[in-house]
Amino acid sequence: MVEPRPLVCVFFKLPPSHQSVPRLHEIARNVLLPPLNRLSQALEAAQTMHPSSEAKEIWSETRQDAAEKMIDLERVGNMNYRIAYAFLKFLDSLRGGTNGSKAYDEFRYNAREGFDEAHKVQDIMLKFREDVRIAVGRITTMLSSDDKEMTSFVTECSERILELATGIEECNAILEEYREEVKELQQQSFDEKDNRPSEEEFQVVREKWQAFKDMSSPSAYNWEALWREMRGPENNGRPTTTSNNPPNPTTPADSSKSDKISFWRKIFRRLSCLSFENFVR
């Protein structure tokens, strides 16, 4: 009779790389944000000789869209948190001597969701790259319609778009590595007949997953601050979402109120993520 395979060798998964979320956050701040800021500065300088309210509005919307992409990147960390929580719950059920099939199915479901979510974010980032390129092209056309010299502005825009595209490629490469790691997590099914690991093996695996969960916590990174920086100076004191109606200059308090509403909505979203563990208990 063939002996059952040791459980720890069959599917006692180690978590994906702890570096995916911090690397995404670092690239967003250090690679994506600087060219956007320099494009804002270039546009501001060009506006002194080629004023265009329409060009200014296009770029304002582009910066707001850039801020929303930080929420998309943050979702990867949130999915990691759910995956880690589900696997830790599975470990605890095994350790307690209960049937772990349901907990393991929940873990695999979350891993599959993380795999799909990362692919969606990849597509979103590629579209963002194209949207910025189109927006800058439209602005360049508007500002140079009077045939005045715009060589330096065009050169600056081309260089910054290239930097932005490089950063987005780096983000998507990290997301692809992450997807491969998450895919591996789903490949082995759970069999109650497999041998149980030792207490030491439980502890080793649990510590690694707990560290992964901590690294993926929404509170581990200040995405809110990065979101605000991505909006840019063009949107200081303005609502996050654009409107067909221009802001009323006689009621600046309304604009401030919109910012506060947007801020607290995101705070509540973070709190809901942090309370996920309590919610599923």
Q: What is the mean pLDDT of each run of 10 residues along the chain (281 residues)?
A: 43 73 94 96 88 93 95 92 92 80 89 94 96 94 71 91 96 94 77 67 87 87 92 65 34 38 41 39 40
Nearest to 17 by CA among 176, 132, 198, 195: 176
Burial 144-168 (b: 16+ CB within 10 A, else e): beeeeebeebbebbeebbebbbebb
* Whole-number pLDDT of residue 148: 59
Where are the domains positioned within the chain?
7-280
* Whole-number pLDDT of residue 220: 85
| Alpha carbons 125 and 223: distance in angstroms, whole number | 17
* Whole-number pLDDT of residue 191: 58
* Whole-number pLDDT of residue 198: 75
In the block, residue with structure tokens 């602005």: 139
DSSP 189: -
Report whether 91 contacts 205 (CB < 8 A). Answer: yes
Report whether 11 contacts 154 (CB < 8 A). Answer: no
* Whole-number pLDDT of residue 66: 95
Count of all residues that appear for the chain in the document:
281
Among left, alpha and beta (phi > 0; psi -120 to 50; other), residue 79 is: alpha
* Whole-number pLDDT of residue 190: 62
Among left, alpha and beta (phi > 0; psi -120 to 50; other), residue 274 is: alpha
| Alpha carbons 77 and 186: distance in angstroms, whole number | 18
| Alpha carbons 111 and 185: distance in angstroms, whole number | 7
* Whole-number pLDDT of residue 236: 64
| Alpha carbons 206 and 209: distance in angstroms, whole number | 5
Report whether 37 contacts 238 (CB < 8 A). Answer: no
| Alpha carbons 75 and 113: distance in angstroms, whole number | 11
| Alpha carbons 78 and 155: distance in angstroms, whole number | 39
Nearest to 111 by CA among 177, 184, 220, 17: 184
Structure tokens at 192: 């109650």
* Whole-number pLDDT of residue 258: 41
Nearest to 63 by CA among 130, 128, 127: 128
